[in-house]
Amino acid sequence: LEEQIRRSDRLKTIGQIAAGTAHEIRNPLTAIKGFMQLLQKSLTDKSMAKETEFIGIVMMELERVNDLVSEFLLLSKPKKVKLQSIRIGSIIQELLPMIRGEAMLHDVIVQYEEEESLPPIVVDKEQLKQVFLNLSKNAIEAMGNEGTLTIRERRRADRHGHIAVDIQDTGTGISPDMLERVFDPFFTTKPQGTGLGLSICQRIVHDMGGSIEAESEPSGTTFTVWLPFSHGSGGAVSRDDV
């Protein structure tokens, strides 16, 4: 529990800093990128190969900073929360083309097990899409170059008032000591990773009164997102613009 409090404090602090600075960083970034492009143009005219290459590297690194700032913005709470009553199936259906596209690049098969009988949930659709997109991306990245991503909707008798969505992969799995840390902000095992994806997922799902669980074996990992369909102490209903 202490660990959880420490983690959520850290997340809150990062979120606050993020909210205050992300936009301020993004504006100069856009300007830098624009002038770099101009510079690149004028250099290629004079065929300065090395300088052109350097600028290419700068642009690539700028892109990374830009991605990081985007994730920072997702980590901070959105000012406008747009709640609506919607079936989880229609959210997943909207996302499937994007997930399938990403999966195809890695020769990953996507299986979707829709559960038509689930009651609608009251959520911010765009935010929830971000959650399933992040989890699917992680799943695909864990499989390298073949495997199956299964998205499954279900209910469990002992979790009243909740629906569950499993994002299951046949990837490399996560060792038990790592599994404890995957939700920590900035924890990553990827050379180009930010370690913010799961923190963002957790922030969003907690705000909706839900939770995320992870189970892993060497043969693969399942992340389960639990979402309430009746809003009791969810927190989301107390927002300004409900």
* Residues at the interface with Mg ion (CB under 5 A): 138, 197
Q: How far apart are CA 137 and CA 167, in angstroms?
A: 10
Q: How far apart are CA 29 and CA 37, in angstroms?
A: 12
Looking at 194, 205, 207, 227, which residue binds ligand ADP (CB under 6 A)? 194
How far, rounded to the nearest angstrom, does the alpha carbon of residue 15 sit from its chain's CA centroid? 15
Distances (CA, A) of 145 to 4, 48, 150: 34, 38, 16
Name the binder of 189 from Mg ion, ligand ADP, none, CB < 5-8 A by kind.
ligand ADP
Interface with ligand ADP, residue 138, by CB under 6 A = yes
Q: Which residue is nearest to Mg ion (CB)?
A: 197
In the chain the beta strands, taken as DSSP E runs, fall at 83-86, 108-113, 121-124, 147-154, 162-168, 211-217, 220-228
Cα torsion 226, 230, 235, 240: sign:
positive
Backbone phi, psi, residue 217, to 5°: -135, 165
Least Å distance, CB 38 to ligand ADP, is 32
Q: Which stretch binds ligand ADP (CB under 6 A): 106-114, 134-142, 144-152, 153-161?
A: 134-142
Q: How far apart are CA 152 and CA 112, in angstroms?
A: 6
Interface with ligand ADP, residue 56, by CB under 6 A = no
State which residue, 130 or 148, has the beta carbon closest to Mg ion.
Answer: 130
Q: How far apart are CA 59 and CA 25, in angstroms?
A: 16
Least Å distance, CB 160 to Mg ion, is 31
Looking at 15, 147, 171, 210, which residue binds ligand ADP (CB under 6 A)? 171
Interface with ligand ADP, residue 108, by CB under 6 A = no
> How many residues sit close enough to ligand ADP to count as binding (CB under 6 A)?
21
Q: Which stretch binds ligand ADP (CB under 6 A): 30-38, 101-109, 181-189, 229-237?
A: 181-189
Interface with ligand ADP, residue 221, by CB under 6 A = yes
**CB count, 10 Å around CB of 215?**
14
**Binding residues for ligand ADP (CB under 6 A):** 134, 138-139, 142, 169, 171-172, 174, 182, 187-190, 193-199, 221
